[in-house]
Amino acid sequence: MTQDLIENPTPKKGETQKDFIKRCIPYIHDEHPDWAHNKIQAVCFDIWKRQHKNEEAFTDEAQFITTPIEEQILKESKEVTVQTGTTNMIAIIGNRFMNGGFLSAEVLQKSYKKWNGTLHDINHMGTSTGFFLMQSDITYFIGYHSNVKYDETTKEVSMELNTEPDCAFTAAWTAYVKLCNRAGKIPNVSVTYYGKRDFILASTLPASIPWKKEGYSKDDLVPVLNEITPVCVSTVLQGRCNDKDGCGLRNDNDDCDSELETKIEEKRQELIKWLKENENK
């Protein structure tokens, strides 16, 4: 294939990436019927990327902790307290160097609400694996995010993960979280988002940003992320960000968790007592 053919077809004005790839694949296949399908895909994605050089996908990581909540349900006509769960996480922090460049708190504050309603998958398999993070598999989703908040003091974006028990991999995800808890490890999460990348001198970054520790000199150009569009949050084995860096676990829920566990145990004992008193009736 000549360079001219590689450049064609070119994305049309207003054409989405999905529509372009759908149009490009048969075009390249006609020109090179002996090429493997994954090679054709790679060529089409490469054409798209070179036509949209200023828009890329980025991933960053953080951690989460499961917080139990009480839920009253009716079981055999009796009210029983069971423990369900929602998961609190600090998924991303502003004014930090992330994968792909420097993400300012100002940019993050403008976009954080967009994480409401995004889905959660395992190892990015639901939304963002494959060529240029665009391959997807809906079976890997296990929940969605809500109650997204931005802390102006810490520059943190926190959110809640609401899992769906009927999803194919929810049981595996739950078991993994329990396994990490038993092993004394923190389950990590990773966020994926689209953005644009500009470049500024390191010396023009805010005074509090340790750009020297990142290996930059004052005259080096630093990639700066803009126009963030969230894609998903994923449970991963190892995250870039951790609780020592400011992401992840929030210890202010410990007392609440202990009090809640006491209440649940009290309810359980009440139920046991009721069953014993009524077992021969």
Question: Could you give the 3-state DSSP secondary structure of residue 102?
Answer: strand
Mean pLDDT of 50-64: 64
Residue 133: C-alpha distances to residues 77, 88, 128, 139 (Å): 49, 25, 4, 17
Give strand ranges (E) for the chain: 55-75, 78-93, 96-98, 101-103, 119-122, 141-150, 156-163, 188-201, 221-236
Residue 242: C-alpha distances to residues 61, 196, 248 (Å): 8, 25, 6
Cα(48)–Cα(7) distance, rounded to whole angstroms? 9
Query: pLDDT tens digits for 227-251?
Result: 888 888 888 877 655 545 545 423 3
Other C-beta atoms lying within 10 Å of the C-beta of residue 199:
10
Query: pLDDT tens digits for 61-106?
Result: 666 555 555 554 444 444 444 344 567 888 888 888 877 688 899 9
Q: Identify how many contiguous H helices and E strands the chain contains and give both numbers.
A: 6, 9
Q: Are 85 and 64 in contact (CB under 8 A)?
A: no
Give the contacts of 87 (CB within 8 A, at least 6 positions apart). Answer: 64, 65, 66, 67, 143, 160, 161, 162, 163
pLDDT for 19 beyond 80: yes
- Cα-Cα-Cα-Cα torsion 109, 110, 111, 113, nearest 10 degrees, comes to 70
Amino acid present at 155? K
The two structure tokens encoding residue 251 = 């210890």
The more confident residue out of 125 and 77 is: 125
pTM value > 0.75: no
Residue 245: name the closest of 166, 188, 173 by CA: 188
In which residue are the tokens 């990490």 written? 180
Residue 191: name the closest of 109, 110, 121 by CA: 121
Check residue 232 and give its pLDDT.
Answer: 87
Residue 81: name the closest of 274, 229, 237, 221 by CA: 274
Residue 134: name the closest of 91, 194, 191, 212 by CA: 194
Mean pLDDT of 121-145: 78
